[in-house]
Amino acid sequence: MDTDKIKRLNAALYMKMWGAPNAPHRELSVLTTLNGKKHSTLLIDTFSKAIKEADKLNLSKYEVRGGENVDRINVWPGEHYRLLPGLVKAINATKVIEIGTHNGLACLAMLDVLPKDSSLVTYDIMPWQKFKGTNLKEEDFKDGRLVMHNADVSNPHVMDQHAKVFQEADMIFVDAPGRAEFLKQMKRIGVKEKCLVIIDDIRLWEHQKLWQRIALPKLDVSSLSHFSGTGLVEWSSKEKLFY
């Protein structure tokens, strides 16, 4: 039996033992004291603005795309799709990066508010057309704002080729396995001061340690974003990245 299957069976057993509630998607998590004492007024301010923007947004127009999980695009809190464009608006981001394109829901959500002449560069190891449940269409790329690269920027050689994109970014959404490696590469090539870095799934067991280790100013905003955890980080090249 493969390790993932054993983990899933163990998780199901734990949830049964502890009387966890039923839900369409359940994950194990652990409550811990927060490691990291750096208060960030910038993150508090950004997040306050972002939730007001998210509250006003309606992304249900994309449900007609009919792809995987599109019925979740306007669910907020619970999913991050309304918060992401909220964050774009809060900081007036014009250069945004996503690592982990998958079915394109976050792309659609952020494109919804990104102005003309802005850019959303999304990375995945699979071309978007190969995802059976994609919600993207060729027309989403037509005006030039959305660009996709099939590239693994956790690889230093690949990151070197894309360094300029990262150095100029206002906001970077990290949503692919190997989160720590992407952060290390970002540190190496030098991301802009105060760039807003968003990390998905920080409450999942496998990513909680990473969230704890981050030594930069950070804010866990999971209750008003993705149920699996959303973390905001205020990037600083002068401070150490990890404890």
* Contacting positions for ligand SAM (CB under 6 A): 98-103, 105-106, 123-126, 152, 154, 175-178
Report CA torsion sign: 101, 231, 238, 215.
negative
Least distance to ligand SAM, CB of residue 155, Å:
8
Residue 65 vs 102, nearer CB to ligand SAM: 102
Residue 9 vs 126, nearer CB to ligand SAM: 126
In this structure, the strands spanning 196-200 and 218-220 are unpaired
Enumerate the H helices of the chain as residue ranges: 3-17, 41-56, 83-90, 105-111, 156-168, 179-189, 205-213
Least distance to ligand SAM, CB of residue 41, Å:
28
The residues near 184 (Cβ < 8 Å, ≥ 6 apart) are: 241
Buried b (16+ CB within 10 A) or exposed e, 5-34: eeeeeeeeeebeeeeeeeeeeebbeeeeee
Least distance to ligand SAM, CB of residue 98, Å:
6
Least distance to ligand SAM, CB of residue 97, Å:
11
Residue 90 vs 148, nearer CB to ligand SAM: 148
Residue 40 vs 65, nearer CB to ligand SAM: 65
Least distance to ligand SAM, CB of residue 207, Å:
11
Least distance to ligand SAM, CB of residue 94, Å:
20
> From the CA atom positions of the chain, what is the Rg in Å?
18
Residue 40 vs 154, nearer CB to ligand SAM: 154
The residues near 33 (Cβ < 8 Å, ≥ 6 apart) are: none
For residue 42, the tally of other CB atoms under 10 A from its CB is: 15
Residue 180 vs 215, nearer CB to ligand SAM: 180
Q: Two tokens at 44?
A: 């508090």
